[in-house]
Structure 1
Amino acid sequence: MKKQIKVVGAVIRNEQNQILCALRSTEMSLPNLWEFPGGKIEEGEQPEESLVREIQEELDCEIKVADLVEDVVHEYPGVIVNLLTYEATVSSGRPVASEHAKLEWKEIAELKELEWAPADIPTVEKLMK
């Protein structure tokens, strides 16, 4: 049976309603694909807590987590990923790409121009509706 992991992603919006997109670095799995920043849910954590912690670790800023956007299960060759994406806003600091190759703020209509990690695609499609 394939390993299953639960992960969270943040659909972070700025004042212009642009969404923060993160490019996975060459050292990460699925290199050079775009994603909503986030990470694994640790044992005993609520998804929202994981998201706050992961964004602090990855982007060096604080976020306020809001509503669930999408709950996706995607089967990759070696693992089954359950991705929960949440609406979020930066409450303090500024996002910095410490683990990702780069970060870009995009208009919702521009999201389809990026090559997304497969598990993130249903969230992109939902945002564009």
Structure 2
Amino acid sequence: MKKTIKVAAAVIQNDNNMILCALRSPIMSLANLWEFPGGKLEEGENAQEALVREIEEELGCKIEAGEVIADIHHEYEKVIVNLISIRAKIVDGEPVAKEHAELRWVPVSELESLEWAPADIPTLTALVN
């Protein structure tokens, strides 16, 4: 039986209606695919708490986590990811790519031009529609 990993992802939108997208680095699994930044929930955390912590660790900025956009399960070869995508806004600092190869602000209308990690696609579809 495959292990299920709970992950929170931030859909961070700026005042210009652009979404922050993160390119997975060559050393990460799913290398060179785009994702919404975030990370695994730790014991006792809810998705919003995990997201605030993960974004501070990964991007060096503080966010406020809002409502859930999507809560999906995606089965990869070795693991099942329960990805909880959450609207968020930056409340302090500027995002910096500490673990990712690149961060890019992308207009909603152009999100589909990027090559996304499979688990992120339902969130992408929800945003574009």
Q: Give the TM-score, by structure 2 length.
A: 0.99
Partner of 2:114: 114
2: CA distance between counterparts of 1:89 and 1:99?
A: 20
2: CA distance between counterparts of 1:72 and 1:37?
A: 16
Partner of 1:98: 98
User: Root-mean-square deviation (CA), in Å?
Assistant: 0.4
2: CA distance between counterparts of 1:104 and 1:42?
A: 27
Q: How many residues align?
A: 129
2: CA distance between counterparts of 1:27 and 1:45?
A: 27
Partner of 2:40: 40
Letter in 1 for 2:52: V
1: CA distance between counterparts of 2:23 and 2:63?
A: 19
Partner of 1:69: 69
SS in 2 for 1:31: coil
Deviations 1:19-61 (A, max 9, x none): 0000000111100000000000000011100000000000000
1: CA distance between counterparts of 2:15 and 2:115?
A: 25
SS in 2 for 1:105: strand
Displaced runs of 4 or more, over 4 A: none
Task: Specify every segment of 5 or more residues in structure 1 that has no aligned partner in the other structure, as ranges.
Answer: none
1: CA distance between counterparts of 2:56 and 2:29?
A: 20
Percentage of identical aligned residues? 60
- Alignment of 1:13 with 2:2, yes or no, is no
2: CA distance between counterparts of 1:15 and 1:64?
A: 15
